[in-house]
Amino acid sequence: MLKGRSFVALILAALSAGLLIGCGGSTDIGDNPGELVVYSARNENFANDLLDKFQDDTGIQVRALHAGGAAVNRLIEEANNVQADIFISNDVGALEHLRLKGYLQGYVSEGIETIDAQYRALDNSWFALSARTRVLMFNKDLITEGEMPKTLWELTDPKWEGQFAITRGGNGGMIGGVSAKRYEWGDERTAQWIHEVKDNAGAIMQGHGDIRRAVGAGEFKFGLVNNYYFHQQLMEPTDNNVCVIYPDQGEGEMGAILNAAGVGFINGAPNDENAKQFLDWILKPENQREFSYASMEVPINPSIEPISEAASISDYQVQGMPLNQLGEYFTDTRQLIEESGLDLELR
């Protein structure tokens, strides 16, 4: 399997022609029965080992486009000339959005019953595999747990001006988090939160990795990240004196916001039988484990133990929005974020 920067370079060179070039140099990706084409919005370091394992286990050649947030737009642009079979997403909101627009197709995979209904599409065209939670990661050299804000709304307080970092508006974690706030608070209060937090933040960064490194280095007291970035920072040889707050845990508060990563079956997939084989394969317990452990996320399947450093979903109060409703907010959430003054991309 081609991967890393060399493969990305090949893809970028082919974009103007609308083609995806693979190992054998063929530009007709639908004529090889031993092939699977995967578009991924997930960090390629999390996805590549899993795709290598599928290729080794089945003999099916995998070709992957790691396109980050652009993967959804790429799928939509190719709706009349479908190029990919499987979509791997960091955000089930994006998966449900694609389903609602007709870009995914249903399939009852072997093992689908291991994923609770709230974590998969009504037609099983997508299902989540690993969960992550929005947390406040803080530097213990700069602030104590008792001093930390305990709710996300407190980030609007002027007392925290310049002391924390957030991501750009187009980050998948930000979109999912804002979608959950819309469900909980309504659009007006959510827009107020975005506007005030954007002005209060000390930095607006490209991604959560930038935030966790900056907090670890003491550039900011805390940052809003997904929980597995905390585990990543703990593994650093230096700048690892960090901890997390799971916000909104008090009585009557909304609970911590949860999102998930998963996979979808693309409507019109040129290698549909191989795609079905992949969906069956990834639901095997050892592969569900591989999917979640690569990123230090928590398995959706409760029979699979999380990594030792991670809290189980049952250990804290979770915000009540069913994840399979996130897609109903996906497009409007991006619009609300931008209208509230938080740029989708860094400029």
Q: pLDDT confidence of 295, banded at 50, 70, 90?
A: confident
Instruction: Fill in the DSSP letter of residue 307.
Output: P
CB 266 within 8 A of CB 275: yes
pLDDT, mean of residues 259-279: 96
Spell out the alpha helix ranges (H) of the chain: 4-14, 44-58, 70-77, 92-100, 172-185, 187-200, 208-216, 227-234, 272-282, 285-293, 330-339
Query: What is the reported pLDDT for 19?
Result: 36
**The predicted structure's pLDDT at residue 325:** 80
Residue spans per domain, the chain: 4-131+259-313, 133-258+328-339
Q: How confident is the model at residue 298 (pLDDT cuts 50, 70, 90)?
A: confident
Residue range 133-258+328-339 forms a domain whose CATH class is alpha beta
- Average pLDDT value for residue range 13-25: 36
Where residue 343 falls among pLDDT bands split at 50, 70, 90? very high
* pLDDT at residue 15 greater than cutoff 60: no
CATH 3.40.190.10 for domain 4-131+259-313, yes or no, is yes
Whole-number average pLDDT of the chain: 88
* pLDDT score at 211: 98
Share of the chain above pLDDT 70, in %: 90
Check pLDDT > 90 for residue 3. no
133-258+328-339 matches 4-131+259-313 in CATH topology: yes
Q: Over 80: is that where the pLDDT of 72 sits?
A: yes
Asked whether 202 and 142 are in contact (CB, 8 A), the reply is no
CA 78 → CA 7, 123, 267, 316, distances in Å?
20, 22, 11, 41
Q: Alpha-carbon torsion 63, 66, 69, 74, what sign?
A: negative
Backbone φ and ψ for 174, nearest 5 degrees, come out as: -65, -45
Region 282-292 average pLDDT: 95
Q: How confident is the model at residue 30 (pLDDT cuts 50, 70, 90)?
A: very low
pLDDT of residue 24: 34
Instruction: Tell me which DSSP letter residue 302 carries.
Output: T
pLDDT given at position 133? 92
Instruction: Say what the pLDDT of residue 274 is.
Output: 97
- Chain segment 113-131, per-residue pLDDT in tens: 999 998 999 999 999 999 9
Q: What is the average pLDDT across 197-205?
A: 98
For residues 116-138, one letter each, b for 16 or more C-beta atoms within 10 angstroms of the residue's C-beta and e for the rest, the string is eeebbbeebbbbbbbbbbbbbbb
Q: Which residue has the tokens 């996130």?
A: 326
Question: Is pLDDT at 26 greater than 80 in this prediction?
Answer: no
Task: Count how many residues are written for the chain.
Answer: 347
